[in-house]
Amino acid sequence: MLLAIETATNVCSVAFCNERGKLFEKRIEKRGAHSEQLFLFIEELMEEHQFRLQDLSAMLISEGPGSYTGLRIGASAVKGLLFQTEVPLYGVNTLAAFAMKAVTEENQRRGAIHCIIDARRVHVYHQQFQLAGAELKAEDDVKVIPIETFEDRISRGDMLIGTGLGRISEDAMEKVHTYGSEAITAQSLIRLYQKGVTCFYRQVAPESFDPRYYTSNQVR
């Protein structure tokens, strides 16, 4: 059994995978909802599906990039929840989890997969992926880049997934197939972990876990 937490954007999502592999989710998209809803969602899932934290084979958390406040709330939550338990914790690349939308599409496209999060000012967090068969491959590392630089990388037929799509120019948007914040879900953390592509997640000690914050110093 797995429990996953996604708090890197305005989406607060908690997903549970039971012993039969069935997924269940509690989700809300609302600025500032994480502190109010995160523990409530976890408690509701535990009550509805009759499991204890100690029953989990692993807990997964979206580790960034993303909102400093959202990531910090998620990190604080897992530190408290897993205190004095032996449940392993895995930090999952937030943008790679976004890209799982492309993997689960019925009509899988073969262009580049661009995953972004609005970084405010004139920048986005960005990472580019590609599908090799049904496998997801990263084509670069997470970067903070100007929107204009990102738009120059887009080709017709690519896929764009994430937040801040309203800040992308109409010309760029016409080239790509888009998914906005509706595609952001903790279920994607579970699907990515189950695929076993270890470059997209890492085991971390709950008491020392620190999200991967990205700052303006990393602008490319």
Give the 3-state secondary structure of 50-75.
Answer: CCCHHHCCEEEEECCCCCHHHHHHHH
Average pLDDT of the chain to the nearest whole number: 93
CA distances to 29, 52, 116, 118 from 13, in Å = 8, 19, 18, 18
Fill in the amino acid letter for 53: L
At 192, list the tokens.
């990515």
pLDDT at 104: 78
User: Residue 100: which of 52, 127, 136 has the closest Cα?
Assistant: 136
The mean pLDDT value for 49-70 works out to 97
**Residue 106: pLDDT band with limits 50, 70, 90:** low
Band of residue 149 on the pLDDT scale cut at 50, 70, 90:
very high
End-to-end CA separation in angstroms for the chain: 40
From the number of C-beta atoms within 10 Å of its C-beta (0-12, 13-18, 19+), residue 208 rates as exposed
Q: Give the torsion through C-alpha atoms of 50, 53, 58, 60, to 10 deg.
A: 100
Q: Which of 185, 3, 149 is nearest to 87 (CA)?
A: 3
At 177-218, the pLDDT tens digits run: 999 999 999 999 999 999 998 999 999 999 999 999 876 555
Summarize the confidence of residues 108-119 as an average pLDDT: 87
Confidence bin at 7 (pLDDT 50/70/90): very high
Q: What is the pLDDT of residue 132?
A: 82
Domains and CATH numbers, the chain: 2-93+185-218 (3.30.420.40), 95-183 (3.30.420.40)
In this structure, are strands 123-132 and 113-118 parallel, antiparallel, or unpaired? Answer: antiparallel
The structure tokens listed for 33 are 């909802």
Between helix 94-104 and helix 187-195 the angle, nearest 10°, is: 80
Query: For residue 133, what pLDDT band results from cuts at 50, 70 and 90?
Result: confident
